[in-house]
Structure 1
Amino acid sequence: MTNNWRKKEILGVSVDFGLNKSAFLGLVKKAVDDKLGAYVCTVNPEFIMSAQSDIEFRTALNESYLNVPDGSGVLMADKYLSLVEKYDSDSILSGFLTKSTAGLKIGLGSLFNKNTLDPKISGSDIIYDICDLAQKSSYTVLFLGGWKKDVLGRPLSKSPNIAKQAAAVLMQKLPNLKVVFASSEIDSSLDQDEKSLNLIKQAMEEKNLSHIDIVFAAFGHRKQELWLRRNLQKIPASFGIGVGGAFDFVSGHVKRAPIFMTMLHLEWLYRLIRNPWRVKRILTAFPIFPLRVFIQSIKGR
């Protein structure tokens, strides 16, 4: 089931490649059944670039149960690095030319043929599958975070309880899903951890529970991973995953990109058009991230 599973380091961050949905869900089930207290990160180029200057975040990524690739940028970097590792150049110039050609070939090839890349696992997609697993296995679930933003990407002073709305949508699809607590009021700040844990434990006590199986954290990149690292075992919970903006999609507050754009790895363009404040994130994913990967490959020739 996990025969193709392999780890590769990209700019100092270990990423797990080759896991399809079935294999990934098998590892989620193992983490829950074995009560590992482990968290998963869905890694995109922004994660890896943030980790270059943020030691705490890089540590959280490299201590995770799994770092699965979320997006074509990380998948292309893996394919590029796997290809150029085979090259043996005698000079910087020949290495530059050979590796530049390889990068262009992979970028253009992947744009028109998605099957050239390994599977990706994104929080906004896999949340449905994990909840389906939770219902079938009678796992308990928490939904934490999710907050509406303005056109500039700033959190609104007031927001609907998106976590609760997302949980309600999923419970309509999965009537036996055991949602213990769902709240967008949970603050991911370190100084609010005690208050957040007290709210969670109060909900657990009301249902006579001493342990949670699965935690979905939607605080945004970095915040959700650090929160899970600090608090997952304090809940205590068996498994946690950062899902970014998944609650927005599930609840219907944000529309997904058309299927044809997703198939062409152009979901980023759709999000940029709808949310211009994402421009910095898009520039990080391209061209900054692939350029850093390319430079590192030249240095490591």
Structure 2
Amino acid sequence: MSTHQELKLAFIGGGNMASALGAGLIGKRCGAQDVHVVDIDENVLKRWAEQGVSTASQADETLGNHRVWVFAVKPQVMKETVAACKPFLRDDTLAISIAAGIDSDTFAQWLGEPGQPWTRLVRCMPNTPSLVGAGISGLCAAKGVSEQDRALAQQLLRAVGEVVWVDNDQQIDAVTALSGSGPAYVFLFLEALMQGGRQLGLSEAQARQLALATLSGATELASLSPEPPSVLRERVTSKGGTTAEALRVFNERDFVAIVQEAMKASYNRASELSVELSK
């Protein structure tokens, strides 16, 4: 995609994740005039229109002029949204779904015809750090997706962070449990660190600065180091020291098992939603 004209993009649902993608793409991978947004919220449409994109409160023939459709509405209204957009599909339309809990087969059936599911489909699970260009997205391509379409989907999602391809919907559910829901786990840990700092006599500002810098610094160190996190943890921990005493409490409460149990609960819920929303 060396020129803006090569990408004409429609967002069906113009909320936070669509806005993050738009911010990463407009002016870099496409022009505002090449983007179309469909949303029922007039305030959302107004914000998009201020960027120079075309907008509509419902699906219409304008969709047919856009090569890539990004479905970014809530899972609970996705089926009816797909039905409204379906009349404007073209043979070369690439559909990208960023809705949690709707598996590829279900989405392909909704978008296709009886006995002929839509094959140009990529399912995606981004996360909220995409809002600041620091996200990571898991992508899963339907069997009919060409290498060109895969490259196009990857280029779009790389506008807001890293991309990891997986093989099936079960792995997308695992992505959901790790990176999709993961920011909430991190925010909870941050809250706990900040509260703990305040309880030990630090001001709110001091606790916040120390907690944020500690977490971002440790993550940066882990990403740059050739050593696994277990080795980095051991290097911080002196026998009989302060860190060892803190880790003793974590181990007694089985911190690792708690995290894994929480992730399993998220994974199971993603699977349950897939069944519920496919009906």
TM-score, normalized by length of structure 2? 0.27
Q: Which has the higher contact order (CA 8 A, sep 6+)?
A: 1
TM-score, normalized by length of structure 1? 0.26
